[in-house]
Amino acid sequence: MVEPYRFSVTESAERIRDGRLTPTELVESLLSRIAELEPRLDAWVTVDTEGALKSAKTLTREAAARNLRGPLHGIPVGIKDIFNTKGLRTTMGSPLFSNYVPESDARIVERLREAGAIILGKTETTEFAYLDPAPTKNPWNIEYTPGGSSSGSAAAVASRMCPLAFGTQTGGSITRPASFCGVPAIKPTHGLLSNEGVYPQSWTLDHIGFMARSVGDLSTTLQALTGMESMKPMRKPRIGLPATYFNEVGAADVIRNYSETAEKLRRNGANVVELELPESFRVVHPSHRIIMFAEAAAVHESKFRESPSSYRPNIQGEVYSGLIIPSSTYLRAQRIRGIFRREMLSAMYGIDALLTPATITPPLKGLTSTGDAAFNVPWSFTGLPTVNIPSGLNEEGLPLGVQLIGRPYGEVSLLGVASWCEKVLHFTVEPPLD
Amino acid sequence: MVEPYRFSVTESAERIRDGRLTPTELVESLLSRIAELEPRLDAWVTVDTEGALKSAKTLTREAAARNLRGPLHGIPVGIKDIFNTKGLRTTMGSPLFSNYVPESDARIVERLREAGAIILGKTETTEFAYLDPAPTKNPWNIEYTPGGSSSGSAAAVASRMCPLAFGTQTGGSITRPASFCGVPAIKPTHGLLSNEGVYPQSWTLDHIGFMARSVGDLSTTLQALTGMESMKPMRKPRIGLPATYFNEVGAADVIRNYSETAEKLRRNGANVVELELPESFRVVHPSHRIIMFAEAAAVHESKFRESPSSYRPNIQGEVYSGLIIPSSTYLRAQRIRGIFRREMLSAMYGIDALLTPATITPPLKGLTSTGDAAFNVPWSFTGLPTVNIPSGLNEEGLPLGVQLIGRPYGEVSLLGVASWCEKVLHFTVEPPLD
């Protein structure tokens, strides 16, 4: 018999609906899994054992009465510790918030509860979702980083401590940890999911997204949150490969896997074409950094001036840098953003999705760096939706992934492409935890 | 017999429709009027005699064939000289553009042509629509400023050199000159009219708007440009008067006229109530200035660094100031803007429009200053639509006005209130030009 902690969102939801599984059984199974693995992985800041069991009890009674709240009835969820959760400590990964208990839920947490989800706990984040690492380890090898900033969410889903977990991305903070931990993830179009009640880093770049065990689960969850239509696997998608940059700067094992992946998709019927990146691509990374630094400085300025030593080195550097950026430089960067967005959309004419490696390197050894967001930054910059799909392991047995990029608000079609690719790539191997 | 130059937009349009007036007769009448008055008033940078007569000829032929392009068929229009006009010199009021001939029309000029309007010429603007004065004089007394930055448009409409003229407002550049020249004007909601092809000063504050001879003309023109529904005079409008600030800082004759105006509206059936301005009103003016300076610096930076001496003193000061504003200060000002907008909308609950004096002073003597935008800045900052209505003359015989402020995209209802007020105020006196 399969332990409930192994079920995907879709599998659990179906079993709860037809009475073969209760939310209480599911929560209890996940709590045991957490008890077993958490000491090794450090994925959680707070596990809300009491709150989750209490919700599960109510939802179990309701399910027995055929009274379902929504498509996520009884599904336990991990929430990155920068989303406000009512009555549940929310630390932002910072000592400045170590005792902060919000009085209300972030909008997306509220929506999850309305859809029937159970908040299982708060997952580890880097400090204020920037680069200073969380204590979380990579479930595939605890000597390696799980990536960041949504470190705990990716590690928790990869190790099956929860089937679904939420994160945020300003540079590469959803796609990178998802790829390093070998789980599917979506970063929807900028603004599709509300960031109300989520601690900002850089509000014109911050995205809300999530990780799960399959593209189908990503689609089910996004449907539950937005009411979008149901994704269908696309047949023979037209996939664009950037002609420059990614192949030139990616690590050898990343590029090998990427080429093999593209070849496999082509062999299985995808129409794979080369795509020229626009001229403006060359200034995307510095422009992104200027906007991120300037906005982060505006967010943190007053707290930071009172107590700079309460900030760890990376975010200190971010705020100090941001404080000396002139507004005309910031505004030029925002204008470059408009130009790149337009040019990139033109370049994508005629394809269903763009395919790149998900990360520039494989998971890095050690916990001092969460890795580099360079391959994700252009899509945080444009706000275009992206999906990560695991695509293999490197020689060290660590996961590699590819990233599909779609059009603004084109999540239904992007997930359709992703679902087709997922079937072709057929990544079923698990982290060696048991 | 009335000379055609005296007709309003609505009067001319009707006569052209039913064959009593031809576009050629109308243009010829306005060209004579310009020939007579322009030497005294300096309202025009360029009068496109040839182009306007050529268009008029085509439109006359079409009208005779009952083939009307749109609601502005045959109506001559003045265009502030920062709107691009295809093949017609566009100087931005700056020596840097003294020979610039655009290759295409600004979006709004294109729309005007589609609706049948004739581009009569380009009206004087302060340098880059900031504070350094144009040569234009006030038609009520040529020793006084017509206001700015849309100086030529206001003076041209007031002196009946054209029935309709377009301008822009970043601080108070439509309402102030309209009030100083005694003509109705509308600054629609930020973004309602496209600013594509209009030289920016500060793109999150820049508004497109226009002046005409009556509120009905404002409504007809806005309908022609946007397809909005037709305005109807509102009966017994609920009008809010700010409890603080305006009465405290306005010049004596301005405040006297404002009080009398409010009293007249009340006597005629308006429901006039006092309205508390939100706390955040106190930081509106400095925040507006920060945004305007920072964005203007971003617009002008490269040209300015090459040749600062090509800029006149006021705009030099604006750009120099903008270049040293840190991005975090700019971003804080933008956040204050969001707060004020929300609080101001709450404060306006239950009223149809807010009423304030249109300007802080009457028209100033001399041409060295175009006056102060303080009473218009809050509505440029929030993007709320405003209408200026002439409300009397001061002891020097110079026009005073009141400003009505509506809700975002509430132009139809705002114009309805304005039309009712116009009827009550019944301002029919003309500048002493003939």
pLDDT digits (tens, 9 = 90+) for B201-228: 999 999 999 999 999 999 999 999 999 9
Same domain as B168, residue B53: yes
- The strand pairing partners of B142, in sequence order, are none
Residue B1 has pLDDT above 80, yes or no: no
pLDDT of residue B230: 87
Segment B42-69 mean pLDDT:
98
Interior CA angle at A45 toward A41 and A46, to 5°?
Answer: 115
Q: Could you tell me which chain A residue has the CA closest to the CA of B331?
A: A298
Number of domains in chain A: 1
Domain-located, residue B375: yes
Domain-located, residue B343: no
CA-to-CA distance for A292 and A290, rounded, in angstroms? Answer: 6
pLDDT of residue B233: 83
A301/chain B closest Cα distance in angstroms: 8
pLDDT of residue A140: 98
Domain-located, residue B257: yes
Are A323 and B324 an interchain contact pair (Cβ–Cβ within 8 Å)?
Answer: no
Contact status of B305 with chain A (Cβ, < 8 Å): no
The packing angle between helices A252-267 and A411-425, to 10°, is 100
Residue B339 has pLDDT above 80, yes or no: yes
Domain-located, residue B342: no
Same domain as B72, residue B199: yes
Which chain A residues touch B322 with a CB distance below 8 Å? 327-328
Q: What is the CATH number of the domain that holds A331?
A: 3.90.1300.10
In three-state secondary structure terms, B364 is: coil
Contact B156, B162 (CB under 8 A): yes
Contact A71, A145 (CB under 8 A): no
Q: Would you state the structure tokens that stand for residue B200, as one six-digit string?
A: 């920016």
Q: Please confirm whether the linkage preceding A12 is cis (ω < 30° from 0).
A: no
pTM for this predicted structure: 0.87
Catalytic residues of A: 80, 149, 173
- Which of A298, A326, A328 lies nearest to residue B331, judging by beta carbons? A298
Q: Which helix (H) or strand (E) holds B354?
A: strand B353-357
Q: Phi then psi for A275, rounded to 5 degrees?
A: -130, 130
Which chain A residues touch B294 with a CB distance below 8 Å? 327-328, 331
Which chain B residues touch A331 with a CB distance below 8 Å? 294-295, 298, 330
Ramachandran area for residue B392 (φ above 0: left; ψ -120 to 50: alpha; else beta): left
- Strand order through the sheet with B76-80: B44-47, B118-123, B76-80, B164-169, B207-212, B185-187, B386-393, B399-405, B353-357, B238-242, B271-275
Which is it for the CA torsion B242, B247, B249, B255, positive or negative? Answer: positive
Name the E strands within A299-398.
Answer: 353-357, 386-393
A331/chain B closest Cα distance in angstroms: 6
Residuewise pLDDT in 10s, chain A (434 residues): 789 999 999 999 999 999 999 999 999 999 999 999 999 999 999 999 999 999 999 999 999 999 999 999 999 999 999 999 999 999 999 999 999 999 999 999 999 999 999 999 999 999 999 999 999 999 999 999 999 999 999 999 999 999 999 999 999 999 999 999 999 999 999 999 999 999 999 999 999 999 999 999 999 999 999 999 889 888 899 999 999 999 999 999 999 999 999 999 999 999 999 999 999 999 999 999 999 999 999 999 999 999 999 999 999 999 999 999 999 999 999 999 999 999 999 999 999 999 999 999 999 999 999 999 999 999 999 999 999 999 999 999 999 999 999 999 999 999 999 999 999 999 999 999 98
Domain-located, residue B129: yes
Same domain as B233, residue B92: yes
Same domain as B397, residue B316: no
Same domain as B264, residue B286: no
> A305: exposed, middle or buried (C-beta count within 10 Å: 0-12, 13-18, 19+)?
exposed
Same domain as B54, residue B99: yes
Domain-located, residue B344: no
Same domain as B315, residue B197: no
Contact status of B330 with chain A (Cβ, < 8 Å): yes
Cβ pairs A/B, distance under 8 A:
56
- Which of B297, B329, B331 lies nearest to residue A328, judging by beta carbons? B297
Tokens 């380009």, located at residue: B122
| pLDDT tier at B9, thresholds 50, 70, 90 | very high
Same domain as B178, residue B140: yes
Q: Please confirm whether the linkage preceding B55 is cis (ω < 30° from 0).
A: no
Residue of A327, A330, A334 to mutate, interface with B, max B Cβ within 10 Å: A327
Q: Would you state the structure tokens that stand for residue A408, as one six-digit string?
A: 């603004």
Residue B405 has pLDDT above 90, yes or no: yes
Residue of B289, B328, B336 to mutate, interface with A, max A Cβ within 10 Å: B328
CA-to-CA distance for A359 and A382, rounded, in angstroms? Answer: 17
Q: Would you state the structure tokens that stand for residue A234, as one six-digit string?
A: 């696309």
CA-to-CA distance for A433 and A40, rounded, in angstroms? Answer: 10
CA-to-CA distance for A135 and A151, rounded, in angstroms? Answer: 9
Q: Which has the closest alpha carbon to A218: A226, A207, A208, A210?
A: A210
Which chain A residues touch B298 with a CB distance below 8 Å? 327-328, 331-332, 335
Q: Which has the closest alpha carbon to A152: A38, A259, A245, A64?
A: A38
Task: Provide the CB-side half-sphere exposure for A73 (13 A, CA).
Answer: 23
Residue B116 has pLDDT above 80, yes or no: yes
Same domain as B432, residue B324: no
Are B327 and A301 an interchain contact pair (Cβ–Cβ within 8 Å)?
Answer: no
Are B297 and A329 an interchain contact pair (Cβ–Cβ within 8 Å)?
Answer: no
Give me the amino acid identity at B146: P
pLDDT of residue B348: 97
Domain-located, residue B109: yes
Which chain A residues touch B328 with a CB distance below 8 Å? 294, 297-298, 301, 322-323, 325
Report the length, in residues, of chain A.
434
Interior CA angle at A91 toward A89 and A92, to 5°?
Answer: 140
Contact status of B322 with chain A (Cβ, < 8 Å): yes
Q: Which has the closest alpha carbon to B89: B75, B78, B103, B76?
A: B103
Contact status of B42 with chain A (Cβ, < 8 Å): no
Which is it for the CA torsion B12, B18, B20, B21, positive or negative? Answer: positive
Domain-located, residue B341: no
Are B329 and A327 an interchain contact pair (Cβ–Cβ within 8 Å)?
Answer: yes
Same domain as B286, residue B267: no
Same domain as B127, residue B3: yes
- The strand pairing partners of A393, in sequence order, are A399
Which is it for the CA torsion B153, B159, B162, B163, positive or negative? Answer: positive
Ramachandran area for residue A73 (φ above 0: left; ψ -120 to 50: alpha; else beta): beta
Q: In which domain, by residue range, is B319 found?
A: 282-336
Q: What's the Cα-to-Cα distance from A157 to each of A184, A431, B40, B258, rounded to whole Å?
A: 10, 11, 78, 66
Catalytic residues of B: 80, 149, 173
Interior CA angle at B18 toward B17 and B20, to 5°?
Answer: 105
Are A297 and B327 an interchain contact pair (Cβ–Cβ within 8 Å)?
Answer: yes
| pLDDT tier at B434, thresholds 50, 70, 90 | confident
Average pLDDT, chain B: 97
Same domain as B90, residue B130: yes
